[in-house]
Amino acid sequence: MQLYILRRKNSIAFLGGFLIVLAFVSKIGFGNIDIFVWALIAASILGAAPIAIQAYQALKIKVVSIDVLVTVAVVGAFLINNYEEAAIVTFLFLFGAYLEQRTLNQTRSAIKELTEMAPENALKQRENGEFEEVEVDEVDVGDVLLVKTGARVPVDGTVLTGEGHVNEASITGESIPVGKKADSKVFAGTILENGTIQIAADRVGEDTTFGKIIELVEEAQDSKSEAERFIDRFSKYYTPAVLVLAFMVWFFSKNVELAITILVLGCPGALVIGVPVSNVAGIGNGARNGVLLKGSEVIHDFSRVHSVAFDKTGTLTMGNPKVADIEYYSQDTEKALGYLASIERESDHPLAKAVVEYIGDTRLHNVTSTNVVKGGGIIADIDGHRVAVGNVSLMEGENVHLDDKARDDIDRFEKRGNSLVLTSVDGELIILMGIRDQIRSGVKEDLSRLKALGVKNLMVLSGDNQGTVDLIAKELGLTEAHGHMLPEDKSAYIAQLQGKGQIVAFVGDGVNDSPSLALADIGIAMGGGTDVAIETSDVVLMNSDFSRLPHALGLTKATANNMFQNIFIAVGVVVLLLIGVFFSEWVNMSVGMLVHELSILAVIVNGMRLLRYRLKY
């Protein structure tokens, strides 16, 4: 019976409203007092039923909830024959709860939108080569799937054949389509806007990036911040205190109606709902814009950050080194480039890949007697020639003559922040290449926005040489630059800053820097959809989009401010109502409940503003 009544709480609220209207129409329009009284009695009893059940359930677990206050107040009003107050209070309370839930559901729309984006079906290749539509749960890792124009990608996978453009807004928050071709990665929940592709399933179900995003946002929206936990504890003692206050007022004044009114006015509903709605809306905004905020506590800490430390490679820079400078010291460079490409194509080193990419198509040669010199480079025999590729130390070890021009070029390249690759053939320097990582587009402007948002200290912590790190810091306007740092050195430096009372955020790629991400007050991963980034950090910038960082910080600050605004509204309304009941005649039980419900809606609407938050540039 209890469950039956609670499930029909909204219907009871509207029926109570109808009975109240019927009562007043009967009295004012027709002068029928009997219908007026009995309609109000029916409305009071109907409305009090679900409230009393909720109060009973709360008392069973030793919690004095808002429902307890309202139940006592309504029963008291009913006993003193104040049916009008009892009916109106129960209706306003139930109708307010209906509007509150309906409005609050809109702040959780990020989850609803995400789950609606989850693909339900897939075109799976059978043994005969034909594609058959199946439920996405039937897809296993390694299956070959067909995705047509306008369809959602069902799993995380790798493109096997075909080309097209994919809208990845569900993952990155960016609606501009991204070109995909063979060997490109695609993610579940994204939309193929044109073209047709076949993909191999890499991750399926909840293991997909999209599945993890939904899981993280759900967990974050259900988490509680320190402020919320405080309010929970506060309301636990506050509601009994209101009961005691009402009893004391009745004991000394013998005014039952005044005591009952205090019970209604003291309901802390807006206070209880104000902070959660701000946090839920803030997390929802982030989810829509490619920023995963993993919980309410993250919002609280991130909004107070003093210092932000950055890894260099893959964070401030693209993590994709390219040949930036080159000098030739011989006329016969074509053959030397062929020798260089022949050696470097066998290496997985980022510098080797940059060299091969720069040289492009060229004649390759048979490489024999390869010797890797640790910390120096590679020496090999090619077509009877001794070819050395590496740094200055390797050249000196090979007795390669470096004249004044070569020395000047080396010095100039190093000052520009290059890593050097020198190539000699039979002891003669032929090529000098300068390779450096490229700074992400727009990073300097994004760092300026962080400063404008109140971050005092911006620093780079890198394993690269100090000269390169200093150049990056100077170009980007960072306040500190530290090179030659191992992962444990970065963690130690962050701990040192925290020891000075600073709240530190660390931004890294989520792989090599996991110790720093874990130690920092706020770990921010350049996600790129990687499992490690999502698991180890507090904040994930999807698709490694650095421009999301200022939005994330601005959003957490706006959310924290919104939370305190809601607390101020909630407490202010209760204080004003209690003052009004003692020092004015306009505050009664019905007015108090109306204002109380309006304050709940006010904090919800105020919180919902965060769904439309955009950082002002």
User: What letter represents residue 499's amino acid?
Assistant: G
Nearest to 479 by CA among 313, 603, 306, 338: 306
Task: Give φ, ψ of 317 to 5 degrees.
Answer: -110, 170
Other C-beta atoms within 10 Å of 219: how many?
12
Residue 311 annotated to the active site: yes
Burial of 85 (0-12, 13-18, 19+ CB in 10 A): buried
CB 490 within 8 A of CB 514: no
Per the structure block, which two tokens stand in for 198? 């076949």
Task: Decide if 290 contacts 242 (C-beta within 8 A).
Answer: no
What does each C-alpha distance from 265 to 91, 118, 269, 270 come to in angstroms? 15, 45, 10, 12
What is the structure's pLDDT at 261?
76
Contact present, 150 and 194 (Cβ < 8 Å): no
Alpha helix (H) residue ranges in 194-309 = 209-222, 226-253, 256-265, 269-288, 296-302
Contact 144, 128 (CB under 8 A): no
Tokens of 286: 């982030």
pLDDT for the residue 432 = 94
Spatial separation of the C-alpha atoms in residues 368 and 372, rounded to whole Å: 12
Place of tokens 């650095």: 546
Where do the H-state alpha helices sit in 80-225?
83-107, 109-117, 169-172, 209-222
Helix residue ranges per DSSP H, 423-486: 443-452, 466-476
Nearest to 426 by CA among 459, 383, 371, 387: 387
User: Which residue in 200, 206, 209 sits closest to 170, CA to CA?
Assistant: 209
Segment holding 499, helix H or strand E = helix 487-499
For residue 405, what are its two tokens?
């021009």
pLDDT on residue 10? 80
CATH class of this structure's domain 120-153+156-203: mainly beta
Report pLDDT for 220: 47
- CATH architecture of the domain with range 322-436: 3-Layer(aba) Sandwich (3.40)
CA distance 366 to 551: 53
Locate tokens 């709240």: which residue? 503
Topology classification of domain 292-318+440-556:
Rossmann fold (3.40.50)
Rounded CA-CA distance 265/247 in Å is 14
Q: How far apart are CA 64 and CA 53, in angstroms?
A: 13
Tell me the C-alpha distance between 387 and 584, whole Å: 97
How distant is the alpha carbon of residue 3 from its chain centre?
37
Can you give the pLDDT at residue 215? 66
Q: How many helices (H) does the chain have, and how many strands (E)?
A: 23, 20
Sign, CA torsion 105/111/113/117: negative
Structure tokens at 118: 């989850």
CA-based radius of gyration for the chain: 34
CB atoms within 10 A of CB 334: 10
* CB neighbour list of residue 420: distance below 8 Å, 6 or more residues apart: 391, 392, 410, 413, 414, 432, 433, 434, 435
Q: Give the residues of the chain that fall short of pLDDT 50.
A: 107, 110, 173, 220-221, 529-530
The segment(s) of the chain belonging to CATH 2.70.150.10 are 120-153+156-203
Q: SS3 of 386, please?
A: strand
Q: What are phi and psi of 176, to 5 degrees?
A: -70, 125
Tell me how far apart the alpha carbons of residues 172 and 190 are, in angstroms, rounded to a whole number. 10
Q: Count Cβ neighbours within 10 Å for each residue of 296-323 and write b for 16 or more, e otherwise.
A: bbbbbbbbebbbbbbbbbbbbbbbebeb
Give CA–CA dist 419/410, Å, rounded.
10
Q: At a CB cut-off of 8 Å and minimum separation 6, what does 589 contact?
A: 73, 77, 82, 85, 88, 89, 257, 260, 261, 264
Q: Are 460 and 466 in contact (CB under 8 A)?
A: no
Give me 270's structure tokens.
Answer: 């807006």
Provide the β-strand partners of residue 147.
197
Q: Where in the chain is the domain with CATH 3.40.50.1000?
A: 292-318+440-556
Q: What is the pLDDT of residues 196-213, one digit of tens each?
A: 899 999 888 877 767 766
Residue for token digits 């190539």?
423
**What residue type is 228 in one-letter code?**
E
Instruction: For 418-436, give one letter per residue: b (16+ CB within 10 A) or e.
Output: bbbbbbbbeeebbbbbbbb
- Choosing from 311, 437, 521, 538, the catalytic residue is 311
Residue ranges of the chain assigned to CATH 3.40.1110.10: 322-436
Strand-pair partners of 205: none
